[in-house]
Amino acid sequence: MLRIAALLAKGRAPRPAAHIATPFLQRLQLQPCSVVELAWEPRVGDVAANGDIGCLTGPGARIVHSDPAAPVTELVYFTVWKRQAGGSFRVFIDQGIATPSAAAFAPAFRRAETARSGDLGVTCGHDDRAPGGEIGHYVRIWSRTRGGAWRVALEVTAATR
């Protein structure tokens, strides 16, 4: 609470908290793909050796078919999957960021470079070091090297708008 008060006193908004997306998604009006389409494809991904978590990233686009004048929004997505008790996977973290133009990815799916053991870790949090003093958040996938040290394998940062 003191951190929020200090930010407000400095004229800065408090950092957005990570949140469960279900309530937000439930409030959205469903639209068929013939109206608005979210097109995406995985280009880089990996799964932990024990199969508990995995990640995917790649290019995407939001296309508004109902308005031919609307520009296509190019984006990059980053998704972390977590195995559930029953064995199925569910999205644990999903982040998409708009890009000024289509992002360059290799044309075929690739496995992320990881250590031979395949150990992966996930961290996420707030970032107040964004350009222009913007406040945002980050998601990182960590991979363990052969020597046992953790290294960042993939990272996504996004400023709050």
Q: How far is CA 122 from the centre of its chain?
A: 11
Distant-in-sequence, close-in-space partners of 140: CB < 8 Å, separation ≥ 6? 122, 123, 124, 152, 154, 155
* pLDDT classification of 11: cutoffs 50, 70, 90: very low
* pLDDT classification of 85: cutoffs 50, 70, 90: very high
Convert the pLDDT of each residue in 118-157 to its tens digit. 677 777 776 665 556 666 777 888 887 778 788 888 787 7
DSSP string of 106-144?
A: -SS-EEPP--TT--EEEEEEEE--SGGG--EEEEEEEEE
Check residue 64 and give its pLDDT: 92
So where are the chain's domains? 31-159
> Of 139, 138, 101, nearest to 120 (Cα)?
139
Check residue 74 and give its pLDDT: 95
Say if CB 36 and CB 66 are below 8 A apart: yes
Angle among Cα 132, 151, 115 to the nearest 5 degrees reads 145
Record the pTM: 0.65
